[in-house]
């Protein structure tokens, strides 16, 4: 992973600091399985440097961005780079303090406290990824305030107060403007350093496609990246919703093409059909038709 950072042109000094961080903070062998081995790499050296610097300084991160900006990929990459075990905590409307910190439970005839993921993460010095943090109600995440600010403690009523390990970091992600999301309150936001995740650039998207599908012909890497950009531009101009601007869908479609499904059909499944509005789908299909011919075969796309 550090080699990848060097290749991406991240400053030598930051990489050295990461190495120091990794040698200084050891990982309990029984938790090594929690250190992620990322499937995708995050491309974008500016964001990398911002994130690394903030984490080295002991700050928590809030990654804000629309769909397909790689929020979770970056969060996963970061815990891999820093070599820390990762806890994934998905937030939803019913998230409450018990699901974060822990709850009473009954074990061997006794009432005991069952640790929640935040508690565990803090105890073992992990990286906690708070996914879609703005899906939860603001009052239910207020329990995190003391955890996230300078106090760095978790005080469980009726049990104990623990101090968070120094190497613990929290990385929250949020997508502003999704259905069901809400404004994050100021108290919570002020406890994070915020990175506004940019849309993936064409160059980076091409790099990603090249790495994922080494067999893809260059001219089609160009076409798929162009297709994604066309859709992104259309969505930014409110002509279509974000449903079809789906990087996961594009990658999955290319996968299906690799397996032999016709490109037009694969893109229909992976991208166009993501929109359930007939007219919007027609607009998306037009964009696809101006990039990928209906009768294209697998061999024309792959080497």
Choosing from 53, 90, 115, 181, the residue that interacts with other proteins (CB under 8 A) is 181
Neighbouring C-beta atoms of residue 9, cutoff 10 Å: 10
Q: Shortest approach of other proteins to residue 241 CB, angstroms? A: 8
Instruction: Please give the Cα distance from 240 to 232 (Å, whole number).
Output: 9
Residues 6 or more apart in contact with residue 191 via CB below 8 angstroms: 60, 144, 145, 148, 149
Q: Mapping DSSP to helix (H, G, I), strand (E, B) and coil, where does residue 17 land?
A: helix
- Distance of closest approach, residue 230 Cβ to other proteins, in angstroms: 6
Q: What is the DSSP letter of 6?
A: H
Q: Does 153 bind other proteins (CB under 8 A)?
A: no
Q: In this structure, how many other beta carbons lie within 10 angstroms of the beta carbon of residue 43?
A: 21
Number of chain positions touching other proteins (CB under 8 A): 36
End-to-end CA distance of the chain: 28
Residue 154 and residue 147: Cα distance in Å, rounded? 6
Stretch touching other proteins by CB under 8 A, among 12-20, 73-81, 179-187, 205-213: 179-187
Asked if residue 157 binds other proteins (CB under 8 A), the reply is no
Stretch that binds other proteins, among 125-133, 154-162, 222-230, 248-256 (CB under 8 A): 222-230
Task: Tell me if 292 contacts other proteins by CB under 8 A.
Answer: yes
**Residue 179 near other proteins by CB under 8 A:** yes
Give the per-residue contact string, 226-265, with other proteins (x = CB under 8 A; - = no): x---x--xx--xxx--------------------------
Query: What's the closest the beta carbon of residue 276 comes to other proteins, in angstroms?
Result: 14
The footprint of other proteins on residues 182-211 (CB under 8 A) is 182
**Per CB under 8 A, 279 contacts other proteins:** yes
67 binds other proteins (CB under 8 A): no
- Report the site for other proteins in 79-138 (rule: CB under 8 A): 93-94, 98, 103-106, 111, 114
Q: Which is nearer to other proteins, 16 or 105 (CB)?
A: 105
142 binds other proteins (CB under 8 A): no
How many whole angstroms from its chain centre is CA 37?
Answer: 14
Q: Is 133 buried (19+), middle (13-18) or exposed (0-12) by CB count in 10 A?
A: buried
Contact 175, 221 (CB under 8 A): no
User: Hey, what are 208's tokens?
Assistant: 């990603």
Answer yes or no: are the C-beta atoms of 139 and 187 closer than 8 Å: no
Binding site for other proteins (CB under 8 A): 93-94, 98, 103-106, 111, 114, 177, 179-182, 219, 222-223, 226, 230, 233-234, 237-239, 279, 282-283, 286-287, 289-295
């Amino acid at each position: 992973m550090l080699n990848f950072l060097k290749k991406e042109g991240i400053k030598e000094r930051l990489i050295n600091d990461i190495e120091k961080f990794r040698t200084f903070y050891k990982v309990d062998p029984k938790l090594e399985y929690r250190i992620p081995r990322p499937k995708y790499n995050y491309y974008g050296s500016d964001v990398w440097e911002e994130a690394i610097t903030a984490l080295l300084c002991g700050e928590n991160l809030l990654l804000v961005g629309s769909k397909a900006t790689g929020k979770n990929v970056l969060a996963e990459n970061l815990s891999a780079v820093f070599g820390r075990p990762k806890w994934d905590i998905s937030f939803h409307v019913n998230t409450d303090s018990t699901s974060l910190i822990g709850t009473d439970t009954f074990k061997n005839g006794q009432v005991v406290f069952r640790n929640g993921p935040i508690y565990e993460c803090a105890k073992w010095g992990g990286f906690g990824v708070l996914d879609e943090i703005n899906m939860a109600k603001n009052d239910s995440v207020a329990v995190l305030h003391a955890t996230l600010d300078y106090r760095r403690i978790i005080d469980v009523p009726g049990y104990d107060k623990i101090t968070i390990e120094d190497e613990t970091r929290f990385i929250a992600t949020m997508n502003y403007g999704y259905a069901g999301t809400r404004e994050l309150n100021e108290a919570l936001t002020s406890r994070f350093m915020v990175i506004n995740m940019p849309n993936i650039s064409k160059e980076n998207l091409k790099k990603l496609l090249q790495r994922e599908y080494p067999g893809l012909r260059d001219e089609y890497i160009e076409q798929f990246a162009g297709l994604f950009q066309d859709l992104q531009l259309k969505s930014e101009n409110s002509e279509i919703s974000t449903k079809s601007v789906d990087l996961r869908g594009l990658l999955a479609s290319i996968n299906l093409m690799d397996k032999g499904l016709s490109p037009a059909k694969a893109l229909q499944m992976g991208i166009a059909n993501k929109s359930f509005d007939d007219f919007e789908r027609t607009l998306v299909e037009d964009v696809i038709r101006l990039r990928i011919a209906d009768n294209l075969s697998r061999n024309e796309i792959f080497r």
